[in-house]
A and B are shown apart, each in its own frame.
Chain A
């Protein structure tokens, strides 16, 4: 049956040649890998105590790949790189992957170019959770995470669960109502956050710093707990590129293409929320990465999720690692400020340059 139509075309004609060359995904992937490697090396080499790049490369080869390299660096450099900078850079990369993939997923699910990982209330839920944790006189320490991280993670997940229930996202209904529900729940939580901050007294600065995002407290222990969660969510999303493609034309068309829309939507939403929650718990609220990185990739390779998802992950990782590098140059700036300051002008430039083919 399936060949009935396709089979009618003359076999002699080179049919596939009709399709134009793909939109440079290979070049983009290589650029992304190069950027990622550069971000890794510079990220561990630069800082208050700069380690020469040659030493850094040798040290990384020695510690990460197990190459037999003669030790030419002081022990203090090794401690700084391995104990402080490496976990920090890798955490920034993991969070970048999570935010970029979550952003691409929410944009695809909600069919909205303005969607980002925080669109359904994760940001407000996490912020409120973190702020409450600072006021509670309870000390919890679980595998490198404190009460603040746990409540931030829980708050993000809970917020989306509430939006999901209230908007009856399980049914095929208007996406606008989902977005509005997310906005309403987010506003309510934001009011709770404002109230908490108002009452927080001496903790205000701490809460404020968390809201802007930072990797200054990253550790191996946190990374080893957070990374599996992020990896799991990312694999689930990457394995569902086909579902996101089917959803490009809306729920009905996706169903006509054989998709179990309710199930796929729940799975994708759950995975994207999970990795957003993990990212938020590890680093606070970092804006712009999840919104902009998928758009940048889409500008070059188009909306095909099979390319969009892995390339977004790649560029999310390098973008956030670079942003963190910039953030710690002048001392310790919140990285959320840096992502916006670098990202926004660059994005505006690209939008102008590509306007002919990419009208938002």
Chain B
């Protein structure tokens, strides 16, 4: 489904035969994946399937990976570190802050790849910070210490930082882990808006199968370092695959119905 849509447009992200091994242990065994701008993909798979490793390959942090990772048609090396950071933003599952840091100061960190190395943030950077705070709807958190926020509020603040980064590709590692239902839905809706309205390509590692099936139009399933399925939730999340990947009785997972209404 993605290829038909992406045909005239350059893919935001393209992986060709990406492999990664830690010593003798193969973590990724040849992953091919393509994301068009504005596309949202949930990356599912058991613990240790290679989901987070795949994200690290995309950002270039997994040094010994082989294969090709193209972002907007060019490799990370061709972009250069800073230019790459302007195109790819990463939302970690957990964010620790060692010093008291206000929400707006956290969001401003997203502008680091844009600001002047010596002179610091420019007017456009300050505008982008304010715009990101509005976009994510965290105005009421401005002025508060990040460390005193609830986990849900903190995750929204970190998302605002990634929005301020202004990247066309957003990678998220379990963005809804530890969040209550209300904040889970808030994060999912925000990702949908970023994709549909701003054309941001979103690739999110997810653990909640039902949440992913409900909010993502496309699901990629990893199992033991291989991509075993890629497509609409109803096509990918069959009872057989749930049993194969997660090793559990599929009846305990609320799976999408084949003819699903959008949201």
Contacts and interface: CB of A to CB of B under 8 A. Distances in A.
Given A2-B166, A239-B118, A303-B101, A16 B130 contact: yes
B89 to A, nearest CB: 7
A299 to B, nearest CB: 8
A135 interface: no
- Which bracket fits the contact residues of B? 35 or more
Contact of B99 (A5, A172, A298): A298
Top 3 A-B pairs, shortest CB-CB distance: A258-B85, A15-B130, A2-B166
Contacts of A15: 127, 130-131, 134
B100 A111 contact: no
Nearest to A308: B99
Nearest to B130: A15
Nearest to A19: B104
Interface of B: 59, 61, 72, 81-90, 92, 95-102, 104-106, 108-110, 112-115, 117-118, 120, 123-124, 126-135, 139, 142-143, 145, 147-148, 163-168, 194, 197-200
Contacts of B132: 5-6
A4 B199 contact: yes
A1 B135 contact: no
Contact of A20 (B117, B135, B142): B142
Nearest to B95: A249
A242 B122 CA distance: 13
A240 to B, nearest CB: 9
Given A2-B167, A5-B194, 16 more contacts: A1-B86, A2-B114, A8-B198, A16-B130, A18-B134, A249-B95, A249-B106, A253-B90, A256-B59, A256-B90, A257-B109, A257-B113, A258-B84, A259-B81, A302-B105, A359-B147
A255 B96 contact: no
Contacts of B134: 9, 15, 18
A172 B102 CA distance: 26
B100 A256 contact: no
Contacts of A16: 123, 126-127, 130
A252 interface: yes
Interface of A: 1-6, 8-9, 15-20, 107, 111-113, 172, 239, 241-242, 245-246, 248-250, 252-253, 255-260, 298, 302-304, 306, 357-359
B143 A18 contact: no
B127 to A, nearest CB: 5
Max chain A C-beta neighbours (<10 A), residue from B100, B101, B194: B100
Nearest to B116: A242
B135 A8 contact: yes
26 contacts: A1-B72, A1-B167, A2-B167, A4-B166, A4-B198, A5-B132, A5-B135, A6-B132, A15-B131, A112-B98, A113-B99, A239-B118, A241-B120, A242-B117, A242-B118, A242-B120, A245-B109, A248-B97, A249-B95, A249-B106, A256-B59, A258-B85, A258-B112, A258-B113, A357-B145, A358-B100
